[in-house]
Chain A
Amino acid sequence: MNERGPVRYVLRAIVLVYLTLLIVWPVFLVGKNAFAEGTGAFVDALTEPTTVDAFELTLVVAAWAVVINTVFGVLISVLLVRYTFPGRRILSALIDLPLSVSPVVVGLALLLAYGGTNGWFGPTLESSGLQVIYATPGIIMATAFVSLPLVIREVVPVLTEIGTEQEQAAVSLGANAWQTFRRITLPAIRWALVYGVVLSLARSLGEFGAVKIVSGNIVGQTQTATLVVEERYQNFEQTAAYAASFVLAAAAVLALIVVTLLRPGHAAAPTIRASAEVATPLTTEKDPA
């Protein structure tokens, strides 16, 4: 618009070439390689029992991690934004920690705390019948750890933005805390919440490093989909590796598209835009509520 002339086209070309070489082309090739030996080979690779087991485990783990992170995330978000208590700022800073910790360090940390033989609490837990490391609970914990802040980081800014007036209005009209949350707060943060859940889901389906350490990678038992990709590739089963990758990549891209469609304009969440105190003309389209 403001940049006319050749510079604009040069910059545009640089960006397009850069992103094509770095992202678009490679991602496209995964799809191509997955079907390189035909659809039959692709389906065969995916229906192999150990692969099916791995995808099942990944789904179960991701579902648990997302549910835990959503409940925990909404709870923490409301507490951080709506209440004052000692240590609130420290907690708010610590919440972001998992995003800057290496997955390998996450795995190590869980191992040191809950490892069956040497961990701090592992032996005690195991003697009471709960195996964490090299079992599903450990994988869920690792996955929940790495995706923990995603819901919170989406919900907190929206909660801050909408303020407390609507909630107070509900209270003055006789609503109790739960009614206020369910009827007023939850609908107001719903898009942010969906966005956070989708991001969490994408992250949970794809976690590799932390899961590799805590799962023990036992084929058919604690092997997840991402671990299958690594194993197949290293065993020179290229098609199988690419087939599993294709499914994971497709899920990730699908999540992205869902999120992009949910959030038109990309720059601001609909909830944030709607809260602007402007008298909108009467001709505006109906709210997508």
Chain B
Amino acid sequence: MTTSTLTRVRRRGPRRRARAATALTPAAGLGLGVALIWFSILVMLPLSAVVLTTTEGGWTTFVETIQQPQTWAAIKLTVGEAVLVTVTNVVFGTLIAWVLVRDHFWGKGILEVVIDIPFALPTIVAGLVLLSLYGPGSPIGIDVANTRVAVFLALLFVTTPFVVRTVQPVLLELDPETEQAAASLGASRLTTFRKVLLPALTPAITAGAALSFARAISEYGSLVLLSGNLPMRTEVTSVRILTYIENGNMAAAASVASLLLLVALFAIIALDVIARRVARR
């Protein structure tokens, strides 16, 4: 998922395309039909079921569910932590990308693999991984298990690659000479970064931030073991949904799920709009 995100950001501007795509042939039409049926069975129908179950309960059920103190606390916590994690990723992700592209040192290749580990690791394992350093048996004596710090750590772990992997290719295509030119013209390092690098990187950073935020608000697996799921304190929205499902309250589960879908959608669209505006400047 990393690389295509980045290619998408990278490939702006003209490129040669042999010919425009052609109209459907009968065989292609058949293929499209089969593909659409499977896509509907797997994705569209189930997601419609979530949205419809929400609307079936009516507006009051939705509002009541959201306003239920425990759920509202979970939503506030999730969004708050997601924002915090996204900001951290913007700063450190850009920094990591810069070091990976511009710096050269032994073991950089290993670092490239390390960056992707959070993507590849099963989320439940990610939770366990963090627990081993920051849990009860911590070799460095730090135990943040069952606190909000643990939620932050878990979300940060699973979202680390996003900004790095969107910024890296853009930085790669930026000529280091532009940075050097700015420096030779007397710009300080900070000015060079602010005036030369940042404008070029902003669309990529924004894209990474959007993905990071969307992932953070929907995270579940890595939090199960780490956060303790304490109501009103470390319980996130995904866990609330699960509790509703286990209690058989599908309307409430669907309500929170729809809200989650909506927030993720909103974040992606909003950040996309910002990125476009910046790119046009």
Contacts and interface: CB of A to CB of B under 8 A. Distances in A.
Contacts of A118: 250
Interface in B212-244: 214-215, 217-221, 224-225, 237-239, 241-242
B185 interface: no
Q: Quick one: which of B124, B179, B253 has the most chain A CB within 10 A?
A: B124
B92 interface: yes
Nearest to B51: A109
B165 to A, nearest CB: 10
Contacts of B221: 103, 208-209, 226
11 contacts: A22-B156, A82-B21, A91-B36, A100-B265, A113-B46, A120-B49, A144-B42, A156-B4, A157-B4, A245-B129, A263-B3
Interface residues of B, number: 105
Nearest to B17: A163
B193 to A, nearest CB: 11
A12 to B, nearest CB: 5
Nearest to B189: A7
B257 A120 contact: no
Interface in A59-75: 68, 72, 75
A208 B224 CA distance: 10
A157 B261 contact: no
Interface stretch (A23-31, A38-46, A48-56, A279-287): A23-31
Contacts of A219: none
Interface of A: 1-3, 7-8, 11-12, 14-16, 18-19, 21-27, 29-30, 32-33, 68, 72, 75-76, 78-79, 81-85, 91, 94-95, 97-114, 118-121, 141, 144-145, 148-150, 153-154, 156-157, 160-161, 163-165, 168, 177, 195, 199, 202-203, 205-209, 212-213, 225-227, 229-230, 233-234, 241-242, 245, 248-249, 252-253, 255-257, 259-260, 263, 266-267, 269, 277
B18 A168 contact: yes
Given A112-B254, A256-B116, 16 more contacts: A1-B104, A2-B102, A3-B102, A15-B99, A27-B117, A79-B32, A91-B39, A100-B211, A105-B50, A105-B257, A156-B4, A208-B122, A242-B132, A245-B125, A252-B122, A256-B120
Main SS class of interface, A:
helix
Q: Quick one: which of B122, B168, B241 has the most chain A CB within 10 A?
A: B122
B253 to A, nearest CB: 6
Interface of B: 1, 3-5, 7-8, 11, 15-25, 27-28, 31-32, 34-36, 38-39, 42-47, 49-50, 53, 92, 95-96, 98-99, 102-105, 109, 111-125, 128-130, 132-134, 139, 153, 156-157, 160, 168-169, 172, 176, 179-180, 183, 189, 211, 214-215, 217-221, 224-225, 237-239, 241-242, 245, 250, 253-254, 257, 260-261, 264-265, 268
A72 B217 CA distance: 29
A150 B250 contact: no
A83 B245 contact: no
